[in-house]
Amino acid sequence: MKARTIDFPRWLIAGALSTVLVGGALWYMQPTLPPDNHQPTTGIQASDQSSAPVNASAGTNDKLQPAPAPEPTQEEQYQTPQSLGPEPFAPSLAGTQIDGVLRADANGQLVIDLRVRDFFDYFLSTVGEVSPETAIGQIESMARTHLPEAAASRALELLDQYLAYKQSALSVMQTELDPALRGDPSYQLRALGDALARLKQLRQTTFDAEAHQAFFGLEEAYSEYTLAGLAIQQRNDLSSQGKQALIEWHRNQLPEQIRNTEQRLHASTRQQQARVAAIDAAGSPSDAGERLAELGLPAEEVTSVVNYLENRERFEGRFEDFRQAMNEEDASGLSAADRDRYRENLLEQYFPDEQDRTWARLKMLGNS
């Protein structure tokens, strides 16, 4: 697929970039990449898909610590630095390493991979703190200063395409759900699939095949995996075991880089579910400790869990005594202020620890 021809200067879309980066979120929900791919992983969450169609805008420096840029090899003689120094152009970047890198090989050609997009997003994430012109100018300066001419030109060509893509993605972001079907899970799934397809088509018409795969390949593979999982969960003709088998099959189709991470996350989730079930089924804190030890929880963590459960057990006993004291004391003739003081005195008597008093207040509100 040929790349879109960009026949307007980079600075011309700076104003549009402000709208894209600061504008509203998507109406639909989209999956998140595992953490090994430098993306947040808190379930399925609405986000600015033109910037980072996973959980939040890529390159958000207060959420993720960027991976250090690799040292150049013999084949990669040129690359941008890992840091902007002690006084970066945007204060929010102080003390951070640059997320991503622009590199050139020994032939002076740009190395195109996901770190190029990460590099763009690192600088573009400052829009709002600085002007779009400033952020874009910093990228251009870094490319021209540290790369050969051919690599710098290619990087800036990709930057033009990336900015154009972000602007065009607004139409996908602003698509509205049919109000009459908004609560229908099947309709929501179809709408999500349609939105992902439109984004993928937009990327294919904006970038050549190499850049499209480098910038969005892993993201799209994970999105399609999550979409398949949601569709499987909605099926009524499969048992839980059948659904799990199909989801496992889709998981095995993921690219190795994210498949390994997803498998670790899945195994960890199942392990945590087993441990929670063990605590729920236990007849006492010590019984819970024995069950958790059998499930492989380290001894020091078993001790901490048992201590916590014992403390909660003692708290419940004190709360029952407190509740009975409140019921037995005839406070009917007290004013509202006196009743509050009376309650506080009892709370301090039965719960000397401030945290326990907080839990007792919450429990009283729940009981009422």
**pLDDT tens sequence across 207-259:** 999 999 999 999 999 999 999 999 999 989 989 888 888 988 888 888 888 88
Structure-model confidence comparison of residues 155 and 363, the more confident one:
155
Q: Are residues 132 and 218 in the same domain?
A: yes
Q: Are residues 190 and 45 in the same domain?
A: yes
Q: Which of 136, 116, 114, 118 is nearest to 127 (CA)?
A: 136
Amino acid at 310: E
Q: Is 142 helix (H, G, I), strand (E, B) or coil?
A: helix
| Boundary residue ending a domain (230, 245, 280) | 230
- 125 lies in which domain range? 10-230
CB neighbours (10 Å) of residue 170? 15
Average pLDDT score over residue span 330-359: 79
CB neighbours (10 Å) of residue 108? 15
Residue 256 lies in a domain: no
Average pLDDT score over residue span 189-201: 90
Backbone φ, ψ for residue 33 (5° rounding): -75, 155
List, for residues 302-334, the tens digit of each pLDDT value: 999 999 899 888 888 999 888 888 777 655 566
Q: Residue 25 pLDDT more than 70?
A: no
DSSP letters for 310-356: HHHHHHHHHHHHHHHHHHHS--TTS-HHHHHHHHHHHHHHH--SHHH
Residue the block writes with tokens 């929670």? 276
Q: Are residues 139 and 40 in the same domain?
A: yes
Query: 124, 59 in Cβ contact below 8 A?
Result: yes
Q: Is 78 helix (H, G, I), strand (E, B) or coil?
A: strand
Q: Are residues 69 and 174 in the same domain?
A: yes
Give the span between the Cα atoms of 191 and 200, in whole angstroms. Answer: 14
Residue 278 lies in a domain: no
Q: Residue 11 pLDDT more than 80?
A: no
In the chain, the number of structural domains is 2
Give the span between the Cα atoms of 152 and 79, in whole angstroms. Answer: 10
The DSSP 8-state label assigned to residue 64 in this structure reads: -
**Angle separating helix axes 209-233 and 185-206, nearest 10 degrees:** 170
| Boundary residue ending a domain (230, 250, 267) | 230
Q: Are residues 221 and 103 in the same domain?
A: yes
Q: Is 59 helix (H, G, I), strand (E, B) or coil?
A: coil
Structure-model confidence comparison of residues 366 and 88, the more confident one:
88
Q: Are residues 311 and 218 in the same domain?
A: no
| Boundary residue ending a domain (205, 230, 255) | 230
List, for residues 57-86, the tens digit of each pLDDT value: 333 333 333 445 455 554 446 999 999 999
Q: Are residues 28 and 122 in the same domain?
A: yes
Give the span between the Cα atoms of 63 and 123, in whole angstroms. Answer: 15
Long-range contacts at 152-155 (CB < 8 A, ≥ 24 apart)? 152/110, 154/109, 154/110, 154/112, 155/102, 155/110, 155/116
To the nearest 5 percent, what fractions of the chain are helix, strand and coil?
60, 0, 35
Q: Are residues 210 and 312 in the same domain?
A: no
Residue 3 lies in a domain: no
Backbone φ, ψ for residue 177 (5° rounding): -75, 150
Q: Are residues 89 and 214 in the same domain?
A: yes
Residue 52 lies in a domain: yes
Residue 329 lies in a domain: yes
Query: 146, 138 in Cβ contact below 8 A?
Result: no
- Phi and psi based region of residue 93 (left: phi greater than 0; alpha: psi -120 to 50; beta: remaining): alpha
Q: Are residues 188 and 316 in the same domain?
A: no
Give the span between the Cα atoms of 4 and 200, in whole angstroms. Answer: 15
Q: Are residues 313 and 206 in the same domain?
A: no
Per-residue exposure over 296-312, b if at least 16 CB sit within 10 Å of its own CB, e if not: ebeeeebeebbeebeee
Amino acid at 352: P
Half-sphere exposure of 162 (CA within 13 A, CB side): 26
Average pLDDT score over residue span 254-278: 83
β-partners of residue 79 are: 103
Q: Are residues 142 and 217 in the same domain?
A: yes
Residue 124 lies in a domain: yes
Residue 90 lies in a domain: yes
Residue 132 lies in a domain: yes
- CA torsion, points 40, 43, 48, 49, in degrees to nearest 10? 100
β-partners of residue 127 are: 130
Q: Residue 274 pLDDT more than 80?
A: yes
DSSP letters for 201-226: HHHHHHS-HHHHHHHHHHHHHHHHHH
- Cβ within 8 Å of residue 23, ≥6 positions away: 48, 170, 173
Give whichever of 26-35, 259-268, 324-333 has the largest mean pLDDT: 259-268
